[in-house]
Amino acid sequence: MNSESKLSQTANSPFTMDDFAKALETHDYQFQKGQVVHGKVFQIDHDGAYVDIGGKSSAFLPRDEAALRAVTDLSEVLPMQENMEFLIIREQDAEGQVTISRKQLEIQHIWDKLVEMKENSQTVQVRVMGVNKGGVTVDVQSLRGFIPRSHLQERDNLEALKGQALTVGFLDVDRNNKKLILSQRIATRSSSFSLLEIGQLVEGKITGIKPFGVFVDFEGGSALLHIKQVSQKFIDSLEKVFQVGQPIKAVIIDLDQGKGRVAISTKILENYPGEVLENMEEVMNSAEARANRAANKASE
């Protein structure tokens, strides 16, 4: 056999293909970082646990990745031979072993839940852990959150809030940047909304006057009295009719909980066009009876 034939035989030899296949087998391509896998714990030692996830090599779960809470006995949270979910947090090492976690999977589930709660305008209870000049840090189902000072009810003595449980709403839930910004004001507004209904008479004080309407603060929230809802008669300037700090009664005509908006009307209380402008005191004094009359008329 000449040297060229020998070379050709070697090139086509199955030995080189087997060699190549063995090289490929050193890496298990079905397991990637960030993937959720199922497996069974088959061995626990002082460093962690070994888990069969169906790969060429077993997976390793470090002790501090066993659970979100501190664990002394791993068998409490990692029962042997029970099918469980794990998150791959590190791809294969030289021996083909991946590193997995139950703790990171729990954290992932908490983020999922908080995103859903924000979308549904739900509230959550948190515990104040620390204070800085911008606000307070809180524990949110084992995650770290922040409430800006401007979104707290108690803004002067933040130290007094340490250890307290607060009900809050969500301003920003950003899992990629691990940012969780909360608001006590949103939660207060949300609970107030559940007590409000269209046709209800509310009493408050005027806090601002704009060309388009008047802002009114009442117990449990704030509302807008639009210029077109003040009177049945045309008004050219609200500043001629109202002043900041003035008490006022009005009827709720629209509620938008998602945007936190309440629209109110005094026009609905008038017996004739322009009565609010001509005899505001009389309209306010008999507002309850007028609101009831308007409600009865609306239900007819």
Question: Is domain 195-299 given the CATH code 3.40.50.880 in the classification?
Answer: no
Query: Domain spans of the chain?
Result: 35-101, 120-187, 195-299
Per CATH, 35-101 and 120-187 having the same topology is answered yes
Q: What is the pLDDT of residue 187?
A: 77
User: Helix or strand or coil: residue 48?
Assistant: strand
Residue pLDDT, tens place only, 239-270:
999 999 999 999 999 887 666 678 999 999 99
Token code pair at residue 11: 């090139």
What are 28-55's pLDDT values in tens digits?
Answer: 567 889 999 999 999 999 999 999 998 7
**Tokens representing residue 278 in the block:** 């001509």
Residue 128 phi, psi (nearest 5) = -75, 125
How far is residue 280's CA from residue 286's CA, in Å, rounded to a whole number?
10
pTM of the model: 0.57
pLDDT at 87: 94
Helix residue ranges, H only, the chain? 3-11, 14-25, 74-77, 103-119, 184-193, 275-278, 280-285, 287-299
Tell me the DSSP string of 40-66. Answer: EEEEE-SSEEEEE-SSSS-EEEEGGGS
Class of domain 120-187: mainly beta
Residue 212 contacts by C-beta under 8 Å, 6 or more apart in sequence?
A: 226, 227
Fold for the domain defined by 35-101: OB fold (Dihydrolipoamide Acetyltransferase, E2P) (2.40.50)
Q: Please list the ranges in the chain whose pLDDT falls under 70.
A: 1-29, 189-194, 220, 257-260, 299-300
